[in-house]
Amino acid sequence: MAYDLVIKNGTVVDGTGSPPRRADVAVANGKIVEIGKITDGAKQVIDAADQIVAPGFVDPHTHYDAQICWDPAITPSSWHGVTSVVMGNCGVGIAPCRPASREIAMHDLVSVEGIPFDVLNKGITWDWESFPEYMDAAARRGSALNLGFIAPLTPFRHYVMGTDSLERAATQAETTEIKRLLAEAVNAGAFGFSTTNMNQHLGYGAKPLACRNASADEFKAYCSVLKQTGKGAIEIALNKQVSVLSDDEYDLLDLLVTESGRPVTYLALLYRDDMPNACRDSLRKAEPLLQRGVLPQVSPLPLTREVGMRNPFSFGSFPCWARVFADKSKEAQAAVYRDPAFRNQFREELKRPMAFGGDWSRMFVLEVQNPAMKRYEGRTVADIGRERGKDGVDTLCDLTLEDDLDIMFTLLFLNVTESAVPELINNPRTLIGLSDGGAHVDMTCDAGYATYMLGKWVRERQVMTLEQAIHRLTAQPADMFGIKGRGRLKVGNHADIVVFDPKTIGSTDKATRQFDLPGGGKRMIVQSEGVTRTIVNGQVIYADGALTGAMPGQVLRS
């Protein structure tokens, strides 16, 4: 038999957790047709000697909802061996959307996901209105990767309720209509729905994102869609305090998993130096829910953020910073930073347990535009404050004003203590994700989480085996969302495959800037290391550091 593709001489790690084995992999018509010793010829042969052949990585947490309109290669995920992405997370998205509401939908993405408005305005094609039409539009455009969609609750509520969705719970009639639209989306192939509970998730007009106003009765109705169809999952950005599970949040998770009968994944468990037992305590508290299909998401990465003071998302969980987001003109924001009342309120809020508790030695000046301030680059806010005889709050605000709000900081945020991360990523009742691919592009890039994990935690630190790590990056997320025929190297499955060198696999240490968004907008990107091939549905989309231009990706449907 002549195959389309044969990958020879590689070490197969199949995604099931089974030990590695030497084998060839044959592909025909986009599917795996044989694994073993293959002697027949093929149109294309890849010699994978001394390399690992694994299922393509399945990224369960992205925000490529808009980016698929202008970047069908879905970069940088495609560079890192990712073959399938799930988007529509955290309750925010761009479908369904009436033409008159497009600006509101874009402002939601600006506020919650840190994507510049000008980029969205120039880049989104708007060749849809309903959610099924949005999925169909993605299929028409084509993509390098497989695209999975979950239905974000905010645009569904706004579609039915208009701007009232920003203020109140839905009536029974409105709930019935929203439920109908969700059912339409799930029947069209959406892998469930998403929502958020986080304080910093403010949308249009600096008001709480519309899905944050949903009532318990609403959630029961929406969950019933998944129970009735017997498919899909729920994703929720849950914790108002990072890694801390409150009683109210526990009850909300309990409602979602009980009423839907489906898996629920929530954000997030990340190690906090100010509360070193927070993750462990939350896992212990959530144990009854974990046994019923609830999966908290964790990250293998240290979360480092670039903080621009025009859109300081990293401080969005502090109530006083709502003033900074309410009016984003430079004049209005400067007035807030200058206001002693704002500074004093920030000092008071820093006294409460928060992910950033005012450790100004973790905040560095990255870049300034004022030549007179260049001497501050690379120094911490704490150090500069000591020099000036001021505390961190005054120093932060003063530096911002002195650079006309153009200053950029780097904040070492969460998961910074390396010794604490293995406990989270090794726990089988957590889900590795949180790449946020496509979001917060002006301040960070975590889309290389899979290659980072294989390089840092498998090769360098040896805190887990290669087969365990591959399972966590492939089969587990595919199973949670019900993505069939992917996530494992198995005869009959779709040929989504990554080939990499186990001696060099990883991602670059630091994100670099690239001005390739619509209109020349800036984004941060990380390059992969050691990935020699990314293969989607049997076609090579990335080879030896370059995209091939192939667009074999499919819109995945539940």
When pLDDT is averaged across residues 387-403 and rounded to a whole number, the result is: 97
Q: How confident is the model at residue 353 (pLDDT cuts 50, 70, 90)?
A: low
pLDDT recorded at residue 511: 81
Q: Is residue 151 part of a domain?
A: yes
Q: How confident is the model at residue 314 (pLDDT cuts 50, 70, 90)?
A: confident
Q: Is residue 503 part of a domain?
A: no
Last residue of a domain, one of 414, 440, 459: 414
Q: How confident is the model at residue 354 (pLDDT cuts 50, 70, 90)?
A: low
When pLDDT is averaged across residues 226-255 and rounded to a whole number, the result is: 96
Q: How far is CA 444 from CA 117, 259, 299, 510, 519, in A?
A: 17, 36, 14, 10, 19
Helix (H, G, I), strand (E, B), or coil: what is residue 315?
helix
* Residue 465 sits in the same domain as residue 399: no
Q: Is residue 498 part of a domain?
A: no
- pTM: predicted TM-score of the whole model, two decimal places: 0.90
Q: How far apart are the first and last CA of the chain?
A: 33
When pLDDT is averaged across residues 476-495 and rounded to a whole number, the result is: 97
* Residue 40 sits in the same domain as residue 163: no
What is the residue-averaged pLDDT of the chain?
A: 94
Closest CA to 61 of 512, 462, 430, 458: 430
Helices 392-402 and 330-338, axial angle in degrees (round to 10): 150
CA distance 281 to 300: 19
Residue 79 belongs to a domain with what CATH number?
3.20.20.140
pLDDT recorded at residue 154: 97
* Residue 207 sits in the same domain as residue 271: yes
Whether 509 shows a pLDDT value over 80: the answer reads: no
* Residue 455 sits in the same domain as residue 440: yes
CB–CB of 7/48 below 8 Å? Answer: yes
Q: How confident is the model at residue 355 (pLDDT cuts 50, 70, 90)?
A: low
Residue 46 belongs to a domain with what CATH number?
2.30.40.10
CA distance 490 to 160: 43
* Residue 192 sits in the same domain as residue 206: yes
When pLDDT is averaged across residues 537-549 and rounded to a whole number, the result is: 97
In the DSSP assignment, the letter for residue 96 is: S
* Residue 252 sits in the same domain as residue 237: yes
* Residue 284 sits in the same domain as residue 318: no
Beta bridge partners of 234: 193, 264
* Residue 357 sits in the same domain as residue 474: no
Last residue of a domain, one of 483, 498, 528: 483
Q: Is residue 509 part of a domain?
A: no
Expressed as residue numbers, the domain containing 35 is 3-55+515-547
pLDDT tens digits, 120-169: 999 999 999 999 999 999 999 999 999 999 999 999 999 999 999 999 99
Q: Is residue 453 part of a domain?
A: yes
pLDDT tens digits, 430-482: 999 999 999 988 778 899 999 999 999 999 999 999 999 999 999 999 999 99
pLDDT recorded at residue 351: 85
* Residue 406 sits in the same domain as residue 426: no
Number of structural domains found in the chain? 3
What is the token pair recorded at 451? Answer: 């290659």
Q: How confident is the model at residue 110 (pLDDT cuts 50, 70, 90)?
A: confident
* Residue 103 sits in the same domain as residue 220: yes
pLDDT recorded at residue 312: 86
pLDDT recorded at residue 115: 84
CB–CB of 155/197 below 8 Å? Answer: no
* Residue 224 sits in the same domain as residue 344: no
Residue type, position 176, single letter: T
DSSP 439-494: SSTTT---TTHHHHHIIIIIIIS--S-HHHHHHHHTHHHHHHHT-TT-SS--TTSB
Last residue of a domain, one of 388, 414, 440: 414
CA distance 54 to 228: 35
**Phi and psi angles of residue 240, each rounded to the nearest 5 degrees, phi first:** -70, -30
Q: Is residue 489 part of a domain?
A: no
Tell me the Ramachandran region of residue 331: left when phi exceeds 0, alpha when psi lies from -120 to 50, beta otherwise: alpha
Q: Is residue 189 part of a domain?
A: yes
**Phi and psi angles of residue 72, each rounded to the nearest 5 degrees, phi first:** -65, -15
* Residue 155 sits in the same domain as residue 296: yes
Q: Is residue 218 part of a domain?
A: yes
